[in-house]
């Protein structure tokens, strides 16, 4: 395997957007305010910090273009400078994969993106840096981070587990099947790897706040409120395209989303055994909260005044554009390397245009409500 092929697999989940629109599309600003900020605020007040010992350091792991977390960062900066004085320096580190669109991120935080209200530009004594490295490695020096935040990024695995399945999304694997087991083991390993690296980076007394998607999100397996299953529909379209010979059976079978839906039990398990590497590293589970996150796309549609066919199509295009940002890469990676990029793009255009038609036909029944877990972790010790 060449280096490039290897990289392709490793970064299978990179976002399909070069125009800095992920945060605009992802629509998650409200849930950050409603759910993530209260968790983070609670953690901030328990971090042992005194002025005169350098900057207060916050790292956003899996930050994408920074749009979703910008208001959270501002809240953190305000909190720190109200508590420790306006001269207290704050260092914000935005971490993501090396192929992340860091240009857009800088555009957002430094205020070049005038369509994003409020950058960090006007915040005094605030310094921003970026780190392009997988969070499954140590990204920052030992004992250098006071608060680590990760919003909706931990679901992507470090590698695409080597399984063959007729399912594209692991959430549809039959529980207990060999492929389900492989994903379960990889998920536990990745969770532990992520935590062990953060254990090194956190100062004693530092805190972590992690938001990740729960398994109950899938209406096929959990008590979700959606009647339509987005991932099932995407798999079915992909399977139809195989039957219609747009793609081969080998390509269909090679398409697996390297993505986990976490369970509360699995997230807690790593902390339970007192002899586990996580406990030995000094990390302790403080709390885990689970919240239902309503689908803001459907919500927006339900509140829209104009609901004719043209409006439904426009709504569906926008909803599916967001779905495509995070899933395009997976479907492309399943396609044979004998195909040129134009061929691949045409196949993916066909796949997503079928999904647009599915959404447009009944927008009120097409949503992606989630059940998310918010995990609070502490590194024991005093500064
Ligand atoms: C759905 S986006 C979430 C972005 C942002 N945190 C938010 O809440 O809108 C997931 C992000 O995680 C990043 N990501 C996935 N795997 C990663 C890894 N191993 N290391 C660092 N970032 C990763 C992706 O590149 C992507 O930017």
Using CA positions, which residue lies closest to atom 8 of ligand 1? Answer: 151
The pLDDT of residue 363 is 95
- Cα 62 to middle of ligand 1, angstroms: 4
* C-alpha 246 – ligand 1 centre gap (Å): 30
Distance from C-alpha of 5 to C-alpha of 323, rounded to nearest angstrom: 25
Span from the CA of 213 to the centroid of ligand 1 (angstroms): 13
Residue whose CB lies within 8 A of the most ligand 1 atoms, among 9, 12, 31, 64, for a mutation test: 64
Domain 3-223+258-296+368-379 class in CATH: alpha beta
Predicted TM-score (pTM) of this structure: 0.91
154-to-25, 103, 203, 221 alpha-carbon distances in Å:
19, 22, 21, 20
Q: State the burial class of residue 176 (Cβ atoms within 10 Å of its Cβ: 0-12, 13-18, 19+).
A: exposed
pLDDT given at position 8? 40
Render pLDDT for 253-274 as a digit per residue (tens, 0 to 9).
Answer: 999 988 889 999 999 998 998 8
Q: In this predicted model, what pLDDT tens digit does every residue of 212-248 receive, in sequence order?
A: 999 888 887 655 556 789 999 999 999 999 999 999 9
User: Residue 17: is its pLDDT beyond 70?
Assistant: no
Give the binding-site residues of ligand 1, using a 6 Å CB cut-off.
Answer: 13-15, 23, 26, 28, 62-64, 68-69, 96-97, 100, 134-136, 151-153, 156, 326
The per-residue pLDDT of the chain, averaged, comes to 89
Which atom in ligand 1 lies closest to the alpha carbon of residue 32?
8
Nearest CA to ligand 1 atom 5: 63
Q: How far, in Å, is the centroid of ligand 1 from the Cα of 96?
A: 6
Calculate how far, in angstroms, residue 156's C-alpha sits from the geometric centre of ligand 1: 8
Q: Measure the CA–CA gap between 308 and 305, rounded to whole angstroms.
A: 9
Residues 6+ apart with CB under 8 A from 259: 13, 155, 156, 157, 169, 170, 330
Give residues with Cβ within 8 angstroms of 225, minimum separation 6.
Answer: 219, 292, 369
Distance 345 CA to ligand 1 centre (A): 23
> Across the beta sheet with 202-213, what order do the strands follow?
126-132, 90-96, 56-61, 145-151, 202-213, 370-379, 283-293
50-105: pLDDT as tens digits: 999 899 999 999 999 888 898 899 999 999 999 999 999 999 999 999 988 898 89
β-pair partners for 90: 56, 126
- Ligand 1 atom at shortest distance from the alpha carbon of 134: 20
Rounded to 5 degrees, φ, ψ at 262 are -80, 150
- Counting atoms of ligand 1 from 1, which one is nearest the CA of 99? 25
- The answer to whether 139 and 131 are in contact (CB under 8 A) is yes
- Following DSSP, what letter does each residue of 191-205 receive, concatenated? HHHHHHHHHHHEEEE
The Cα–Cα gap between 113 and 110 comes to 8
Nearest CA to ligand 1 atom 9: 68
Q: Give the residue, out of 26, 35, 62, with the most ligand 1 atoms within 8 A of its beta carbon, to mutate for a pocket test.
A: 62
Q: How far is the CA of 307 from the centre of ligand 1 (A)?
A: 34
Q: What is the pLDDT of residues 114-156, one digit of tens each?
A: 666 667 877 899 999 999 999 999 999 999 999 999 999 999 9
CA distances from 383 to 93, 165, 197, 336, 347 (A): 20, 49, 19, 53, 55
* Tokens standing for residue 351: 């796949």
* Angstrom distance (rounded) from CA 220 to CA 232: 8
Higher local confidence (pLDDT), 174 or 2: 174
| pLDDT at res. 325 | 87
Q: Output the pLDDT for position 329.
A: 86
């Amino acid at each position: 395997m060449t280096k490039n092929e290897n990289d392709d697999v490793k970064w299978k989940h990179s976002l399909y957007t070069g125009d800095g629109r992920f945060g605009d599309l992802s629509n998650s600003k409200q849930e950050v305010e409603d759910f993530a900020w209260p968790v983070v605020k609670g953690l901030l007040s328990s971090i042992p910090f005194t002025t005169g010992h350098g900057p207060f350091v916050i790292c956003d792991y899996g930050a994408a273009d920074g749009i979703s977390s910008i208001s959270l960062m501002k809240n953190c900066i305000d909190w720190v400078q109200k508590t420790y004085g306006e001269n207290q320096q704050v260092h914000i580190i935005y971490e993501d994969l090396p192929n992340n669109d860091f240009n857009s991120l800088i555009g957002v935080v430094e205020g070049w993106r005038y369509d994003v209200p409020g950058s960090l530009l006007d915040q005094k004594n605030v310094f921003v840096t970026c780190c392009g490295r997988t969070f499954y490695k140590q990204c920052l020096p030992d004992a250098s981070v006071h608060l680590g935040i990760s919003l909706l990024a931990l679901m992507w695995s470090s590698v695409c587990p080597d399984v063959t399945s007729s399912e594209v999304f692991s959430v549809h694997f039959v529980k207990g099947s060999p492929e389900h087991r492989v994903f379960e083991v990889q998920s536990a390993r990745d969770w532990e790897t992520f935590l062990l690296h953060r254990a090194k980076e956190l100062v004693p007394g530092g805190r972590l706040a992690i938001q990740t998607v729960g398994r109950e999100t899938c209406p096929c397996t959990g008590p979700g409120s959606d009647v339509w299953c987005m991932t099932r529909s995407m798999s079915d379209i992909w399977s139809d395209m195989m039957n219609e010979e747009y793609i081969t059976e080998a390509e269909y079978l090679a398409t697996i989303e390297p993505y986990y839906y976490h369970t509360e039990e699995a997230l807690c398990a790593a902390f339970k055994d007192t002899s586990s590497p996580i406990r030995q590293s000094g990390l302790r589970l403080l709390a885990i909260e689970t919240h239902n996150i309503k689908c803001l796309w459907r919500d927006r549609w339900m509140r829209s005044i104009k609901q004719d066919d043209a409006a439904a199509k426009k709504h569906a295009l926008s909803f599916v554009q967001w779905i495509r940002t995070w899933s395009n890469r997976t479907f492309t990676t399943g396609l044979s390397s004998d195909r040129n990029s134009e061929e691949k793009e045409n196949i993916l255009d066909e796949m997503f245009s079928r999904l647009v038609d599915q959404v447009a036909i009944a927008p009120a029944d097409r949503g992606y409500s989630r059940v998310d877990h918010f995990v609070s972790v502490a590194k024991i010790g005093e500064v």
